[in-house]
A and B are shown apart, each in its own frame.
Chain A
Amino acid sequence: MSDIESQIAESFERVYPTPDVVADWHDVLRRSALPVRSGERHGWQVLPRHWGSRRRLLLASSALAVAAAVALTLASPWRGGPTILDRAAAAIAAPGTDQILYASVRIRTSLPCVSAPPGWKKNGWSDLSKLKHLRRCPDNSRAAVWLDSAPPHRFRAVFVDGDGRLESGGTVGGPNGLSYQPGGVLDPVGYAYPITLSDLDPVGFIRAALASGRARVDGTATIRGRNVVRIRVTAHRYGRDVTDALYFVDAATDRPVRIVFPAATRDVRGLPMINLPFLADGTTSWGGNLSPIVIDFAQYLYLAPTTANRKLANIRAQHPHAKIL
Chain B
Amino acid sequence: MRLAGVTVDELESLYRADLPRFVRAAAAIVGDEGAAKDAVQDAFAEAVRSRAQFRGDAPLEAWVWRIVINRALALRRRDSRVPEPNGWSPVADAMSGLSEPDSTVRAWVAALPERQRLVVFFRYFADFDYRSIAAALDVEVGTVSATLVAAHAALRRQFLEEVAP
* Bound complex: CA A44 to CA B12 (Å): 11
Contact, CB under 8 Å: B102 / A312: no
Given contacts A311-B9, A322-B1, are A298 and B28 in contact (CB under 8 A)?
A: no
Residues of B within 8 A of A312 (CB): 9-10, 13
Contact, CB under 8 Å: A319 / B1: yes
Residues of B within 8 A of A165 (CB): 56
B interface, over-half SS: helix
Contact, CB under 8 Å: B102 / A14: yes
* Bound complex: CA A211 to CA B55 (Å): 44
Determine whether A21 belongs to the interface, using a CB cutoff of 8 Å to chain B: yes
Determine whether A301 belongs to the interface, using a CB cutoff of 8 Å to chain B: yes
A interface, over-half SS: mixed
Contact, CB under 8 Å: A124 / B55: yes
Determine whether A83 belongs to the interface, using a CB cutoff of 8 Å to chain B: no
Determine whether A184 belongs to the interface, using a CB cutoff of 8 Å to chain B: yes
Q: B23's contact among A2, A19, A32, by CB below 8 Å, is which?
A: A19
Contact, CB under 8 Å: B12 / A24: no
* Bound complex: CA A7 to CA B101 (Å): 7
For window 115-149 of B, CB contacts with A under 8 Å fall at: 120, 124-125, 127, 129, 131-132
Q: A7's contact among B28, B49, B105, by CB below 8 Å, is which?
A: B105
Determine whether A114 belongs to the interface, using a CB cutoff of 8 Å to chain B: no
For the complex formed, measure the closest distance between the CB of B117 and the CB atoms of chain A, giving whole angstroms.
11
* Bound complex: CA A298 to CA B61 (Å): 10
Contact, CB under 8 Å: B33 / A19: yes
Size of A's binding interface in residues, CB under 8 A? 62
Residues of A within 8 A of B41 (CB): 24, 27-28, 31
Contact, CB under 8 Å: B9 / A11: no
Determine whether A34 belongs to the interface, using a CB cutoff of 8 Å to chain B: yes
For window 46-68 of B, CB contacts with A under 8 Å fall at: 46, 48-49, 55-57, 59, 61
Q: B18's contact among A182, A299, A321, by CB below 8 Å, is which?
A: A299
Residues of B within 8 A of A81 (CB): none
Contact, CB under 8 Å: B106 / A31: no
Residues of B within 8 A of A3 (CB): 159
Determine whether B2 belongs to the interface, using a CB cutoff of 8 Å to chain A: yes
* Bound complex: CA A318 to CA B159 (Å): 50
Determine whether A210 belongs to the interface, using a CB cutoff of 8 Å to chain B: no
Interface string of A292-316 (1 = CB under 8 A from B): 0000001101010000110110000
Given contacts A160-B56, A309-B13, are A16 and B28 in contact (CB under 8 A)?
A: yes
Residues of B within 8 A of A43 (CB): 7-8
Most B CB contacts (10 A, CB to CB) among A4, A7, A23, A140 go to A4
Contact, CB under 8 Å: A25 / B16: yes
Given contacts A2-B152, A308-B12, are A16 and B27 in contact (CB under 8 A)?
A: yes
Contact, CB under 8 Å: B37 / A21: yes
* Bound complex: CA A259 to CA B143 (Å): 29
* Bound complex: CA A299 to CA B19 (Å): 12
* Bound complex: CA A319 to CA B1 (Å): 6
Contact, CB under 8 Å: B16 / A31: no
Determine whether B77 belongs to the interface, using a CB cutoff of 8 Å to chain A: no
For the complex formed, measure the closest distance between the CB of B101 and the CB atoms of chain A, giving whole angstroms.
5
Contact, CB under 8 Å: A102 / B17: yes
Contact, CB under 8 Å: A44 / B20: no
For the complex formed, measure the closest distance between the CB of B129 and the CB atoms of chain A, giving whole angstroms.
6
Determine whether B45 belongs to the interface, using a CB cutoff of 8 Å to chain A: yes
Determine whether A53 belongs to the interface, using a CB cutoff of 8 Å to chain B: no
Contact, CB under 8 Å: A11 / B20: no
Given contacts A15-B87, A19-B24, A102-B17, are A4 and B156 in contact (CB under 8 A)?
A: yes
Residues of B within 8 A of A9 (CB): 124
* Bound complex: CA A19 to CA B125 (Å): 13
Determine whether A8 belongs to the interface, using a CB cutoff of 8 Å to chain B: yes
* Bound complex: CA A131 to CA B6 (Å): 22
Contact, CB under 8 Å: B48 / A32: yes
Residues of A within 8 A of B36 (CB): 19
Known: A4-B152, A43-B8, A106-B129. 10 other contacts (CB 8 A): A8-B155, A10-B101, A11-B101, A18-B20, A21-B19, A23-B16, A34-B48, A44-B8, A164-B56, A298-B127
A residues apposed to B, CB below 8 Å: 2-5, 7-12, 14-21, 23-25, 27-34, 42-45, 102, 104, 106, 122-125, 140, 142, 146, 160, 164-165, 182-184, 224, 298-299, 301, 303, 308-309, 311-312, 318-319, 321-322
Report 6 cross-chain contacts, Cβ distance below 8 Å, ordered by A residue. A7-B98, A19-B24, A31-B45, A308-B9, A308-B12, A319-B1
